[in-house]
Structure formats: structure tokens, C-alpha cells
Structure 1
Amino acid sequence: MTVRVPGSQGGKMSRWPGLGIGFLAQILLLFLWISTGKALTQEEITNIEVYKKASSGVVHIRSTVVRYGFFYQPVPSQGTGSGVILDQDGNIVTNSHVVQEARSLEVTLWDGSVWPATLVNSLKDLDLAVIRIQAPTERLKPIPMGDSRGLEVGQAVYAIGNPFGFQLTLTKGVISSLGRTLMTPQGKKLKGLIQTDAAINPGNSGGPLLDREGRLVGINTAILSPSGGSVGVGFAIPVSALKEHLPRLVGGARVRWPGAILALLGLAILAWILVRRWRSGPRW
């Protein structure tokens, strides 16, 4: 039996060689498809590297705020946000609005462990706050700080956070503008903000904005949206502002020894005066 090839002039051809060539062609195409499917672009490799470097330095923050109902009954409500590990002392930076008025704070680390947190200090005018946890140093993976002063519009940036409670979510975008000013719902004016189209949603507040090296260049703080979700207009506090005020933020809970000594000295003088008056007897 012969198989006629459409368009040929009656030549004969065995069907087995034809089947062999077709089979080999299919194998070759399958191999090329698999190879292409497994290969990663340089952009994808960068995305993966940024996530691997920085995700373990991002935390999930749960805050419990107690409100009071019509009959003054306590009504606890929970909020959620993100934070960035600063050091192995357990200091974590986040937004002030994430932790303000919180009755209790709870932090979930990259490994799923949960730790109670305390507020160290809060600068509401900058929407920055530092909280602290007592966790083993091997669980604390600080994110290195970059330099926001050298950023350029169009530069790739990455956001990692916990939008809607989905922990350690990565989004990517570019710097849309620099030096933006934004009025917060609390009536505070935030200046010098980084604008980005990286998706930022409720729960991302306090999380990091990163450069392609996985370094911290901003703290995600707000979005402009008619729906409450991301429409590509997000804002981050530049890391330069964090660096400038970090001593106040981290040192907020520490004892100011000069002030404490002066207070004790004042109490000692007051006690000495009272004792002398008591010994001298009442004066009529």
C-alpha cells in the first residue's frame, strides 16, 4: 500500500518513514516546549531573589482595639497590618495607624511562630511606629536598609505584605513619582512620599517597599482608591525619614537616665525638707 503525498506527482513513499519523521518532530516540539516552559527570564529570577532575600524579614501584625457600645459594653475589634524587622533585638517598624489605640499586639514571623508585642514609640506626624518582640535571634531576619535619596521614577520596586490577611504576598511595580504630599484621614500631612503602582491593599500598611537588591527603600503607608482596593496609586514613606527618626523610635521605651536621676534628686530634696520641718515641730 502506498500513501500519496498531496501535491506530488505519483511518487511512492512508505508510511513508516513518514510516521518516524512525524514522531521525531513531535518529540522535538515537546522537548522545546518543556525547555521553554522551565527557563526563567532575568526579570523572573530577580523577582524570586528579592522575595527569598526579604520575605523572612516581613511580619504580620494583628492588633486588638477595644471600643465601647451604646451601653458602654466593651466591643473588641481586630486590625491587621505588616511590619519590617529592624534588628535582632526584636525591633519592628510599622505604621503608626496600624498599632494606635491597640489594647494588645501580636506578631507572626516568617516561620509561623506568634509573639506578643509591645509598643516602643510612635510618631503620628510621620505615621511611623516601632514595636518590639522577645524572640530568639535566629528567628529574626532584619531587612537591610537602602537609600531612598537615589531613587528614580521608573525604577522597579517590590512590596511584600499581608493584604487582606494573606501573609507574605509579593507585588511588583515601578516608582511613579517622588516627593508626593498626602493628607491622611486623621488630618496629618505626610510629605516626601514615594508613589508606586505596585499593588498595595489593606493589610500592606507598614510593610516594606524594596529595590531590586532586596533593600528597604520605603514603608508602605497609604493608597488612593475609590473602592478601597489597589488601583495602582500607592504611597510609601522613604527610608531616609525612617533613618532620621530611628533613634527616637527605637529609644522610646528606654529609661532616660539623666531625667530619672533628676527626678530622684528632686524627690530626695523634698523628703529632706519635709523631715526637717517635722523635726522642728509645728509652727503656729
Structure 2
Amino acid sequence: MKTYGELIRELRIKKGIAQKNLYENIMSKSYAIRFEQGKHEISFYLIHSILNRLGMEVDEFLYIYNGYTEPKIEQFYSEYSLKGNANDIEGLKAMRNLYTRSPMTYQNQLWIAELNARIDQLTYFNQYGEFSKQAITAESLQTIHHYLDQIQTWTLNELRFFANTLDFIEYERKSEYFKSILPALDRYQNFQRGHPVICTLLINEIHEFIMANELAMADLFLVKLDAFSNTIETMFYRNAHLYYKGMLLIASGEPDLGRPLVKEAIQLYESLGYHHQAQLADTFFKNLLQR
């Protein structure tokens, strides 16, 4: 594998940037030569300064450095989300088998617990037509709770883990987690790459609030979802905002206003090919109407 310096040299040459122009006031000519030869390492601060002159984000640089592949954590959640949203239980089991055969690091244990919980949940849903926390094994829940209980600072990785395990956790315990999470959300308002993670978290919590008849809290989080889903990149989450806006109206005693919004959102899911998402949304809608 190339060193950072060797990759920067390759990118610099392809961009037609002279070595002097790239490294001036950052490092000496002799040090720059040895850095580009892979014989010196430098601090992250200096790498960041160099990438600014190259006109490149750190995320893209690392993506290229890793052979145009996402980091392992991004690969996991991309595949997990794709298979989970498609109700692909066999695909989730294949993922679990892969991580079970890998070295049993703490991160792999967490991912296996997530996969087991989602497999249990979807299996129960396919059989009975509803989600149930009781379908998830105590072992998986214990691993998930232990990790969440240890968190002191909520970064995107922790927020994403919580978003994906939110519906496995009892309401009272979840409320405690949210007290420490809320301040972290606003700090990511201007970090566009984190918006899908936060939107997922907000959607899952809005759903829980509506089903628990905590309508004031659902409305509060719907406002936050509105703020985090206002770009083209978050269009999927914008449709979820439409859906839960309608669901909240129904739960608030205004079904004639809410029904058209919910049905429009479900139809959009179908039109865009999110058939399992449409099925879930329709199931929750009917459950709310019955209640």
C-alpha cells in the first residue's frame, strides 16, 4: 500500500501542481521530497493543510487511499441498511456469518448483536405482521445496552448505532439516552455528511413518540427532522417527514388532514422502489387508525 506521501505526490502530479507551490510554508523542500517518497510521516494538521491546497476533503483522500473503497464501518452500515430496509433476512444472515468468522473484536461483537436483533425482529414481523422487542434475545439486548450505557460523547458512530438499535430498547431507558443525545444533534447541523444518520435517528424516535402518544415530543422532533432533511441528498428523509407529519395529525385527532399526507408518502416509497418501507409504513398507519 502507498504511504500518504506517495499518494499525495501522485495526486499533485495529476493535478499539475508544482511541489514548491504545494509545500511552501508547510515543510522544507528536502522534507517534502522524502515525504513523497514515503520516507517521512507527518502530522494530521500538516496533511489537512496540504489537502486544502489540493482542493480535496479528508474523506475523499482516505477513500482513494483505501483503494476507492469505503471504510469498514461505512461498508457495514450501507449493507446493513440496504438489506434491512429490503427485509432481506438471508442477506443479513450472510453478513452475520461473515463477521462471526472474522476476529472477534469488540466492534464485531456490536455488529453481530445488531444483526441478530434485526434478524429476530424481521422474522417476527414476517410471521405476525408487527414488530416486537420481545422477539430479540436477551444476549443481543445486553450487548447493545452495555455499549450505550458506556457512551460519554455522542459522535456520528454512536448516533448511528443508537439510530439502528432504537426500536430494540425499552421506552424508559431510551428516554435517558436522549437526554444526553439532544445537545449533540445541533452540533451536526452544518455537517451535511452526518445528516442521514441524524435523520434516521429522528425518524425512529418520532415513530416511538407517536406510538407512545407522546405527541408534543413527536412534534418537537418533527421540527428537527424538517431542519435536517432540507437538501436534495436527504430527499428520502423528506418523504419520511411527510409521512410522520400525516401520522402526527391523525394521532392528534385530525385524520382528514393526516390521511392524504400518509398515503402520498407511502405511494412515493412504492414509486421509488422502497417496497418493504412502504409495507412497514402502511402497517404502522393501519395500526394507528385501529388504535
TM category, shorter = under 0.3
TM-score, normalization: structure 1? Answer: 0.21
Of structures 1 and 2, the one scoring higher in RCO (CA 8 A, sep 6+) is 1
Q: Which structure has greater strand proportion?
A: 1
TM-score, normalization: structure 2? Answer: 0.21
Q: Answer with 1 or 2: which has the greater Rg.
A: 1
